[in-house]
Structure 1
Amino acid sequence: MNASTDTMTRAPVATPPAAPHATHRYRMLLRREYWEHKGGFLWAPLVAGAISLGLTLLFAIIALVAAHRAAAGGELEIDGEMMVNGLDLGLITSRLGPEEMRQLGAGLDMSLIMASSWPFIVLAFVVFFYCLGALYDERKDRSVLFWKSLPLSDRDTVLSKAISAAVVAPAIATVAAIATMYGFLLLVSAIVLAHGGNPVTLLWGPASPLYLAAHFIAAIPVYAVWALPTVGWLLLCSAWARSKPFLWAVMIPVFAGVIVSWFDLMEFFDLETLWFWKNVVGRSLLSVVPIGWLDALDLQGMAAMGRFKFESAADIRGVLNLKVMYSAFASPKMWIGAAAGVAMILAAIRLRRWRDEG
């Protein structure tokens, strides 16, 4: 009886809490990076896209005012017919043949690419300066002491910053670019409707917004791998520099290029000095530029083999296809740079622990 009473009154043994899953840990770290740098990751590309649309509206107003003045003065002609009562886009559309419509679609695709390029331009600056301050700023404001008090390893912290730079920021910029592209189409569609045109016939039919949007999304993995040398180098400088990481990150590759050029050191490897500037200095500083991965493609060889044509703007869809884009992964230049970037990220992980403990 006493034994059973002791068993019933005995307090339950507390089980230790289970360690958080690695997926949850990285999700938390990525959220941290996003909320701490929301201005650069989210608002900068959105504002850039809004500026692009604002400039498009401004130029459209200027062009329409000039066209209406020309029509009112009898100076605007279409196929020899004088336009007096205004600009009639419906009449213009009816005069376009199949070849003209194809050229119109190619021109629209180029306009869509130009309009959507603003968030991608901002992306290069955001990723560059984010990586440059990712590990330096937390040492400068001593917030690293708080984060190192949590059960988070230096490996997880640095990798979350590298993933944020190579994947998260480009993905958000891609969404902003696609939104800008469709905003451009809607803006131009309103102008076309106001002047007697059919946006479906004149804009949405000839253009390829879905095609371009799909390829913007498909380019994210290519960008992520190509950007690794710059991401790794900037994180390494951010973990190593005690002050002025920007000067260290820029001047070391540039001075190395100057020394190589001065003494013609590349001659010992039967290479030109330009090779060093392009593959070492350029890759360490400019790989975060969105279209930089085109350098990994042998475009002339592909054109000679008939894999694509790029003789004019009408051939833009020949370059923007998955086979051409993902052929960059077959380039040794891509993987050598990626391996160098991974090595520098690993060095940044070690330096973060050494700098903080030293």
Structure 2
Amino acid sequence: MMIHKLPALLKREVLEHRNLWRVPIILIGFALLIRLSWGFGNLAPDFEVPTWLQSDPAIDGIIDGVVMQALDSMNYIVMMVLFVVAIFYTLSSLFNERQDQSILFWRSLPISDGLTVTSKLFIGLVLIPLFIIATQAVVSVIFLDSQAPQYLSSYYGRTLGGLFKTLLWSMLPTICWCMLCSEIAKKNPFLLAFIAPLLLVMVDKLFLNGVVSNTLVVNRLWGIDEHSLQPLVWGLIFSVVCVATAIVKRSQRF
């Protein structure tokens, strides 16, 4: 029964939080405008290659490499923008329900608090990454046309593993923390989500030599330590605690 309810909850989230699908459309629109500008005006790419080098395959490879690097950068921007969307979505998802009192309606339905929170986590940790992959694919087709499949096979081969590691290492604890802040904040979950870690870092640096902040906060902002499993385990434990606390707090309201 819970499996049948989850799609309805996901549909509700997508309809209520329109930025989830508006932002990818806007990003694709920007990419399309840039691509169209290549044929008009001063934004068209102009590679001046001497005539005697135009038949050299190495030159074509260099030009293709420049285009691929630019597209990689654009796809990285797509990923970062949608990660920000995921953070803001989770920060507002539970908080807005309390502010507009819509939680009273949803609590009257035969839907558990755990399933409701799970649906919101699914949006942040599964649906938005899928939006990232789909948006990157469309952007690549816009710029490369028939060469897009070859580029995408290479690009996804290089980046999908990193995307999964980023989700597990950085985004999972971040999203779960934002979900908790969205549930427990009385006025502004955004301030709680960012000020509390800042205070933790300051206190930890003063009294604990940075042990806690390096494990839970700083390392996750600077990258993935593939040689250390302990921070990953602590991040998973932290995520479970945040989600469980959010579910319990939500069940105690009203």
Please tell me the residue identity of whatever aligns with 2:250: R
Moved more, 220-229 or 117-126: 220-229
Contact residue 132 and residue 234 of structure 1 kept, 8 A: yes
Task: State the partner residue of 1:95.
Answer: 56
Task: State the partner residue of 2:5.
Answer: 25
In terms of fraction of residues, the more helix-rich structure is: 2
Give 1:311-322 correspondences, 5 Å limit. Answer: none
Pick from 229, 235, 241: which aligns with 2:179? 235
Aligned length in residues: 252
Please tell me the residue identity of whatever aligns with 1:184: F
1:351 Cα deviation (Å)? 0.9
Task: State the partner residue of 2:224.
Answer: 295
1:78 Cα deviation (Å)? 0.8
Considering only aligned residues, what root-mean-square deviation do their CA atoms show, in Å?
3.0
Q: Equivalents in 1 of 2:162, 2:199: separation in Å? A: 33
1:154 Cα deviation (Å)? 0.7
Tell me the TM-score normalised to structure 1 length: 0.62
Sequence identity of aligned pairs in percent?
25
Task: State the partner residue of 2:217.
Answer: 281
When residues 56 and 114 of structure 1 are mapped into structure 2, their CA distance, relative to the original with a 3 A threshold, is farther
Task: State the partner residue of 1:110.
Answer: 69
Q: Equivalents in 1 of 2:98, 2:237: separation in Å? A: 27
Give 1:132-171 correspondences, 5 Å limit. Answer: 132-171=91-130
Q: Equivalents in 1 of 2:33, 2:78: separation in Å? A: 14
1:219 Cα deviation (Å)? 5.2
1:162 Cα deviation (Å)? 0.8
1:187-239 CA-to-partner distances (Å, cap 9, x unmatched) read: xxxxxxxxxxxxx7xxx39x633221455555554344231111111111111
1:280 Cα deviation (Å)? 2.5
When residues 49 and 282 of structure 1 are mapped into structure 2, their CA distance, relative to the original with a 3 A threshold, is farther
1:116 Cα deviation (Å)? 2.0
Pick from 27, 30, 36: which aligns with 1:51? 30
1:231-263 CA-to-partner distances (Å, cap 9, x unmatched) read: 1111111111111111111111101212222x2
Contact residue 177 and residue 242 of structure 2 kept, 8 A: yes
Q: Equivalents in 1 of 2:164, 2:45: separation in Å? A: 44
Q: Equivalents in 1 of 2:191, 2:28: separation in Å? A: 30
1:128 Cα deviation (Å)? 0.9
1:178 Cα deviation (Å)? 1.2
What is the SS of the residue equivalent to 1:137?
A: helix
Return 5+ residue gaps in structure 2 as ranges.
none
Give 1:135-214 correspondences, 5 Å limit. Answer: 135-186=94-145, 204=147, 208-213=151-156
Q: Equivalents in 2 of 1:144, 1:36: separation in Å? A: 13
What is the SS of the residue equivalent to 2:57?
A: coil
Task: State the partner residue of 1:197.
Answer: none
Return 5+ residue gaps in structure 1 as ranges.
1-20, 68-75, 82-90, 187-199, 267-272, 287-291, 299-329
Give 1:265-276 correspondences, 5 Å limit. Answer: 265-266=208-209, 273=210, 276=212
When residues 348 and 170 of structure 1 are mapped into structure 2, their CA distance, relative to the original with a 3 A threshold, is same
Q: Equivalents in 2 of 1:114, 1:351: separation in Å? A: 41
